């Protein structure tokens, strides 16, 4: 998720992004990108249930609220404006 660190988020926002990434089980940007590399996989736009496991790794339990989901959408829109990345990856 290096691309997130290049954006202008403050320390508190970066901590919240880190917590959301743990909840969403995301290590790398490629984890949430579709095969074409331009779109985000639909399931990452929503918070998953505690019992769902999207990864083979053992993750910490982080519980999020709806305002966190709104902030996650803001982060995803920052990474992929209009849900599309530039073709210059």
17-43 tens-digit pLDDT: 888 888 888 888 788 887 776 778 888
Name the residue range of residue 68's domain. Answer: 2-83
Residue 20 covered by a domain? yes
Q: What does the pLDDT read at residue 3?
A: 73
SS3 content of the chain, % helix, strand, coil (to 5): 50, 0, 50
What is the Cα–Cα distance from 65 to 58, expressed in whole angstroms?
Answer: 22
Q: What is the pLDDT of residues 59-80, one digit of tens each?
A: 778 877 778 888 888 888 887 7
Structure tokens at 78: 């920052």
Q: What does the pLDDT read at residue 31?
A: 80
Query: Three-state SS for 64?
Result: coil
Residue 51 covered by a domain? yes
Residue 17 covered by a domain? yes
Residue 89 covered by a domain? no
Residue 27 covered by a domain? yes
**Which of 14-18, 54-58, 79-83 is most confident?**
14-18
Residue 19 covered by a domain? yes
Give me the number of domains the chain comprises: 1
Residue 33 covered by a domain? yes
């Amino acid at each position: 998720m290096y691309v997130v660190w290049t954006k202008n988020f403050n320390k508190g926002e970066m901590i919240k992004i880190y917590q959301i990434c743990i909840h969403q089980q995301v290590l790398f940007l490629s984890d949430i990108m579709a095969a074409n590399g331009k779109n985000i996989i639909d399931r990452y736009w929503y918070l998953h249930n505690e019992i769902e496991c999207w990864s083979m790794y053992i993750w910490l339990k982080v519980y999020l609220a709806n305002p966190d989901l709104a902030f996650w959408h803001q982060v995803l829109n920052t990474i992929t404006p209009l849900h599309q990345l530039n073709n210059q990856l």
